[in-house]
Amino acid sequence: MNETELENRLRQAPRPTPPAGLLARLQADLPPAPRRENRPGTRPETPGWGRWFPTLAFGSVVLGGILALGAEAAQLARLRAENEALRARLDAARAVAAAPAEAPLHSLQDEELARWRANAAEAARLRGATAELKDRLTNLPGLQAENQKLRAARAATVQAVADTDLGAAAREQANRVICVNNLKQIGLAFRIWANDHNGRIARDFLSLTNELGNTPRILHCPSDSAPQLQSWDEVAAGRSSYQLPAAGRPQPDPAAGAGNAWDASPEEVLVICPHHHNVGLADGSVQSLSAAQFVRSIQVVNGRTIMVQ
């Protein structure tokens, strides 16, 4: 049996039960504690805090001395600063005392004389300016008449400029903007009509009377020298400023399942203005082209007029 097994056996052994009254008999057998008496010449015992009182008192005295020295050092520094300030004031006072005396009286008189001369020159200049103003006031009616003539000449010049090629170019630019707006409204009318007719494209402007607001004026380009359109009868007779290349294109067959689909490609040309070379496309946009760009970009492919970039 090894030590571990022996230790386990000992731990499993039952504890012995002490006899009753053993603790009381042991306490009764203990001798009484001896009583300590103060002998002559010996120092009575003091509590624990009394032993540290001398040390604490000495530390308090040392700390008070340190604080007092700190206060004296601070006061000494303040006195030194005040002393330096007083020395600086004294040096400034000495410098003022050592400054040269005031300028002589004749120097002040020369300055006053120069001031009077400057004032006299300014007064002479003001008198001359006053005389000039009086002369201008005398000639004021003539100046006003001359001003009226200049205004009339300016108005005539402005009117002449308005009648030149520059004014005509400005008017033509404004007409181009109006034409672009007309083509956008026509393109929108095409889309509305197609939605109501199985995706087909209107073959003439008379089919778009309801979509164009029952007025043919939008079919007249402002740069067209022909008279303004007044009725749809004129449109039926063939009068219009715009062309419809999409009117002759192949139409979708509703029986083939086209439904209400819009079969026009975005680059397909619906309407053209021959006066400005503006082109209205199926996607609703309007392109303003030059004559050279128009010839190069507008092509017919598979019966459809398209614009190529």
- Token duo for residue 295: 């010839």
Helix (H) or strand (E) holding 300: strand 298-301
pTM of the model: 0.46
CA torsion, ordered 173, 175, 179, 182, to nearest 10 deg? 130
Residue with the larger pLDDT of the pair 36 and 189: 189
Asked if 175 and 222 touch (Cβ cutoff 8 Å), the reply is: yes
What are the helix and strand counts (H, E) for the chain?
A: 8, 5
pLDDT at 264: 79
Question: What are residue 215's phi and psi, to 5 degrees?
Answer: -135, 135
pLDDT, mean of residues 250-271: 70
pLDDT surpasses 60 at 28: yes
Q: Which tens digit of pLDDT belongs to each residue from 262-288? A: 677 889 999 999 999 999 998 889 999
For 49-66, the DSSP string reads: HHHHHHHHHHHHHHHHHH
For 187-241, the DSSP string reads: HHHHHHHHHTTTT---SSGGGGTTTTTS-SGGGS-TT--SPPP--HHHHHTT--S
pLDDT surpasses 60 at 256: no
Cα separation of 65 and 63, whole Å?
A: 5
Q: What percent of the chain has pLDDT over 90?
A: 18
Most confident among 98-107, 108-117, 252-261, 290-299 (mean pLDDT): 290-299
Most confident among 11-25, 97-111, 129-143, 234-248 (mean pLDDT): 234-248
Q: Which tens digit of pLDDT belongs to each residue from 138-178? A: 776 776 677 677 778 777 776 766 666 667 788 888 899 99
Cα separation of 160 and 154, whole Å?
A: 10
pLDDT at 281: 92
Average pLDDT score over the chain: 79
pLDDT surpasses 80 at 237: yes
Residue 80's Cα: distance from chain center in Å? 58
Asked if 244 and 204 touch (Cβ cutoff 8 Å), the reply is: yes
Cα separation of 283 and 266, whole Å?
A: 5
Neighbour-count burial of 208, counting CB atoms closer than 10 A to its CB (0-12 exposed, 13-18 middle, 19+ buried): buried
Q: Within 10 A of 181 (CB to CB), how many other CB atoms are there? A: 12
Least confident of 71-85, 164-178, 193-207, 246-260: 246-260
Cα separation of 307 and 212, whole Å?
A: 25
Q: Which tens digit of pLDDT belongs to each residue from 49-86? A: 566 667 777 777 778 778 888 888 888 888 888 888 88
pLDDT at 194: 85
In 3D space, the residue among 307, 308, 304, 285 whose CA is nearest the CA of residue 201 turns out to be 304
- Contacts of residue 222, defined as CB under 8 A and 6 or more positions apart, other chains included, come to 174, 175, 178, 179
pLDDT surpasses 90 at 29: no
Cα separation of 100 and 213, whole Å?
A: 101
pLDDT surpasses 80 at 300: yes
